[in-house]
Amino acid sequence: MAASNNECLDLMHRLMAYRHEPIHSELMKIRDKYSMLHLDVLILIYHFAKLCSGAILEIGAFVGGATIAAALGIRDSGKQKKLIAVEPGGSVKHKRLGTRNILRDLERNLARERVLNMVTLVKGKSFKPETMSAVRYALGSQPVGLLVLDADGAKRRDIDSYRDTFSDGCWMVIDDIYGVDANEKITPSRADVDALVAEGLLEPLGFYGWSTWVGRWRGSARDEATTE
């Protein structure tokens, strides 16, 4: 518990420090153009992508805000890391980020921010066998060190689909856990995450922005024990 408390405080301190660094204003512009996530969440995605060991897997890329934040984190890490973004496409009505073609705008935005060549874009629903196969092919032998989960309300389904790829201590950024009642994803999302925490599979490290849960994956040791 003491370790978790220290890590929570460290994340808060890191956010404060980033507010005085150039990346803060850079990500503020990215947030305004491409993301519904809070700026603090984009900063943490940048931070985790920068320091994590392994690949970054994003499920629910939408038009690219978090994808770009992760790519910038990889850029500033100075290391080669795989960044895989899963997005089924479609259209969304939104007063600021409405789009008739999500995939088209996602690719355009990644290209506009000069990170398209850093991203492996997997087009499809995350839980479909062909999508899962494409993600595993892209990962190769590299484990996932950061999962960004911002799709529908079925958080456990997506975590169970890819849990064998997570490194122990994999950073987790999971959206739609708290917020307004009009968001139909919140109730099932929170139930899934609370259950995974109760089972000792997820370690919570706090809530950020408007509705985003941040923590770590602690299920790898259990998975190994089960297979022995």
pLDDT digits (tens, 9 = 90+) for 198-228: 999 999 999 999 899 999 999 976 665 555 4
Both ends of the chain: CA-CA distance in Å?
A: 28
Per-residue pLDDT reduced to its tens digit, 44-67: 999 999 999 999 999 999 999 999
Helices 129-139 + 155-162 axis angle, to 10: 50
Residue from 200, 210, 215 nearest 180 by CA:
210
Tokens standing for residue 193: 């995450």
Stretch 101-113: mean pLDDT, rounded?
97
Per-residue pLDDT reduced to its tens digit, 143-176: 999 999 999 989 999 999 999 999 999 999 999 9
The pLDDT of residue 224: 58
Q: Whole-prediction pTM value? A: 0.94
In residues, how long is the chain?
228
The pLDDT of residue 1: 57
Please, what is the average pLDDT of the chain? 93
Question: If one looks up domain 2-227 in CATH, what number appears?
Answer: 3.40.50.150
Per-residue pLDDT reduced to its tens digit, 114-132: 999 999 999 999 999 999 9
Percent of the chain with pLDDT over 70: 94
Q: Which amino acid is at 5?
A: N
